[in-house]
Amino acid sequence: MRLETVPRWRRLGLALFLGALVALALPPFFAVPVLLVLIPGLLALIDAANGRWEIFFTGWVFGFGMFVSGLYWIAWALTVDLAAFWWLIPFAIAGLPAFLAILTGLVALAWRRLPLADPTARAVAFAVIFSAAEALRGVMLTGFPWNLLGYGWTGWLPVLQSVSVIGIHGLSFLTILVAALPYGLLLGPRRSAASRQSGWATAAGIALFALIAIGGWARLAAVQDSPAVADVTLRLVQPNVAQESKWDADQWPAIFDRLLTMSREDATDITHVIWPETAIPYFLTQDGGARSMIAESVPPEGLILTGAPRLQGDWSDPGRRIYNSLSAVNGSGDVVATYDKVHLVPFGEYVPLRSLLPIDKITPGRIDFSPGPGLRTLHLDGLPPVGPLICYEVIFPGRVIGSDDRPEWLLNVTNDAWYGHTSGPYQHFAISRVRAAEEGMPVVRVANTGISGVVDSAGRVLSRLGLGQQGIIDTTLPGVWPSRTVFSVVGNWALFGLLLLGCAVAVAADRLRR
């Protein structure tokens, strides 16, 4: 049956279904090969659409299904205070995906209008347009580079090594490219030559990923075991505090006692202790008593690093500022270093256009958090230079390190308790692994409810605590990759080069066909 003869509503329903299945290719499922069916199916549906609006809505519906299934977990955060935010749940489940899907609708419209006849050329062109749209999504309106299709390769470690050269955007481009190549096989027997060509192109694309995997195995074999940093033993504390309890002042003493107990229990060889984001939900710098109690649990000559809000100025001062911060406390109870989160979560930590939107942010308190001055490297006693990242700051490829002072490891503290037992924390942990492989440096991740873990500079998980577990990880600190990765030097310009190459290949393939 030709798709053109299928009723329009059924075609749009099929596009929605195919888009929803894209989540299978992403963490925690990693079933990347399903894209070899889903992407060609989308292209065939776009081809069958009549008129610009139907073309647009075919792409939009596909994107809507993709973002609903991939980002449904965002709505889970609203259930923490259901009485206050129940009315926002439809906007989180459907509104955000509907907005993000505008890009996929525009991708469909742009691709359909291309003056290309060769199916292989059209497949390559689709990968170029789709990847450019993903890159745009990563920077527009503060950026949201989540659900990039390349993240599905986190479960295929040899292939993942390619991000050390081309980054996650580059790997996503190659993934979409190869997934789109079977499109020509769906064009019917009347174009059998095109079908044969698409078959060969698909085989070549699969062979490309086989070569990438072989190169990845070689890279992994080059450094079998990451050399540990001498004289450093970290304790990662995952207290597993439910979000409903975290901001309940009556619960704070018990939570604080849990953190202290977990920090000092059998801690003879520990040099540094790390607590998650907002492990202390009140202003640590203003609370000398809390710092004194922390000081009693600080390892000798070491530090406790903890997430905590930070108040700048007096509470009664209209010009006061509140930061989501990471603070280092020494054995004397002094805060010796602080990092203020730079990339804040819209509506979670501040309300954009607050003068026009009469709503509260999701986190407690009516005052918006302020962004910090910029990414920075902390130089702490007994530790190699560290690049701190709070919560979703780790999701931005090529934008996790300050340009003037390169660290030797990344520390990501987060509070994924907002998202319960959904796919969100699994996706977040997978993204952290990709940053490690891209930058060629280890990532230490400490989460309130999980997933905490240690990832080496190749993206290998050396130790982890599962979602919803209370516990500690005592670990050495893996060393940085012996030399800087290509991506750490060129950054997202690698994607720009691949897109230019893709354009050249598409034009050349179409000319050969003509």
pLDDT digits (tens, 9 = 90+) for 309-336: 999 887 777 778 999 999 999 999 999 9
By mean pLDDT, which of 79-93, 269-283, 293-307 is the weakest?
A: 79-93
pLDDT at 151 over 60: yes
Higher-pLDDT residue of 166 and 227 is 166
pLDDT at 499 over 70: yes
Q: What residues contact 33, with CB distance under 8 A and at least 6 apart?
A: none
Say what the pLDDT of residue 82 is: 84
Look at residues 429, 440, 434, 513 and name the one whose alpha carbon lies nearest to residue 466.
429
Residue 503 a catalytic site member: no
**Percent share of the chain, pLDDT over 70:** 98
Higher-pLDDT residue of 246 and 338 is 338
With contact defined as beta carbons under 8 Å apart, do 18 and 65 qualify?
A: yes
Tell me: the pLDDT tens digits for 292-302? 999 999 999 99
pLDDT category at 153 given cuts 50, 70, 90 is very high
Lookup: tokens for 253: 């003493």
- The single residue of 341, 361, 393, 438 carrying the catalytic annotation is 341
Tell me: the pLDDT tens digits for 30-44? 999 999 999 999 999
- The single residue of 134, 277, 438, 439 carrying the catalytic annotation is 277
Look at residues 382, 363, 242, 253 and name the one whose alpha carbon lies nearest to residue 305.
382
Instruction: Please tell me the distance from the alpha carbon of residue 62 to that of residue 416, in angstroms, as a whole number.
Output: 28
Tell me: the pLDDT tens digits for 329-361? 999 999 999 999 999 988 888 888 776 777 777
Lookup: tokens for 119: 């199916």
Classify the C-alpha dihedral 115-117-120-123 as positive or negative: positive
With contact defined as beta carbons under 8 Å apart, do 182 and 40 qualify?
A: yes
What's the whole-number mean pLDDT along residues 279-292?
A: 88
Say what the pLDDT of residue 192 is: 63
The reply to whether omega before 28 is within 30° of 0 (cis) is: yes
pLDDT category at 112 given cuts 50, 70, 90 is very high
Say what the pLDDT of residue 191 is: 54
Residue 349 a catalytic site member: no
Instruction: Please tell me the distance from the alpha carbon of residue 301 to that of residue 303, in angstroms, as a whole number.
Output: 7
Say what the pLDDT of residue 166 is: 97
pLDDT at 194 over 80: no
By mean pLDDT, which of 213-217, 323-327, 343-347, 509-513 is the weakest?
A: 509-513
Tokens 């292989």 found at: 120
Instruction: Please tell me the distance from the alpha carbon of residue 482 to that of residue 387, in angstroms, as a whole number.
Output: 18
Say what the pLDDT of residue 225 is: 67
**Percent share of the chain, pLDDT over 90:** 72
Q: What residues contact 425, with CB distance under 8 A and at least 6 apart?
A: 416, 419, 447, 449, 450, 451, 467
Query: What is the 3 state secondary structure string of 462-511?
Result: EEEECCCCCEEEEEEEECCCCCCCHHHHHCCHHHHHHHHHHHHHHHHHHH
With contact defined as beta carbons under 8 Å apart, do 109 and 52 qualify?
A: yes
- Provide the H-helix boundaries in 117-236: 119-137, 157-160, 163-180, 192-222
Ranges of each domain in the chain: 3-223+491-513, 228-481
**Burial class of residue 117, CB neighbours in 10 A (0-12, 13-18, 19+):** exposed
pLDDT at 187 over 90: no
Domain 228-481 has CATH 3.60.110.10: yes
Instruction: Please tell me the distance from the alpha carbon of residue 426 to that of residue 461, in angstroms, as a whole number.
Output: 13
Residue 461 has, within 13 A of its CA and on its CB side, a CA count of: 18
Q: What residues contact 243, with CB distance under 8 A and at least 6 apart?
A: 77, 80, 415, 417, 418, 449
Kindly report the CA angle at 70 between 68 and 76, in degrees rounded to 5?
A: 75
- Average pLDDT over the chain, rounded to an integer: 91
Separation of CA 184 from chain center: 32
Angle between helices 119-137 and 35-48 (to 10 degrees): 100
Instruction: Please tell me the distance from the alpha carbon of residue 265 to that of residue 252, in angstroms, as a whole number.
Output: 20
pLDDT at 79 over 80: yes
DSSP state of 461: E
- The single residue of 134, 349, 391, 438 carrying the catalytic annotation is 391
Say what the pLDDT of residue 319 is: 78
Residue 439 a catalytic site member: no
Look at residues 429, 477, 434, 432 and name the one whose alpha carbon lies nearest to residue 449.
429
Tokens 């050249």 found at: 504
Say what the pLDDT of residue 232 is: 95
Say what the pLDDT of residue 473 is: 96
What's the whole-number mean pLDDT along residues 176-191?
A: 81
With contact defined as beta carbons under 8 Å apart, do 351 and 384 qualify?
A: no
Say what the pLDDT of residue 78 is: 86
pLDDT at 3 over 90: no
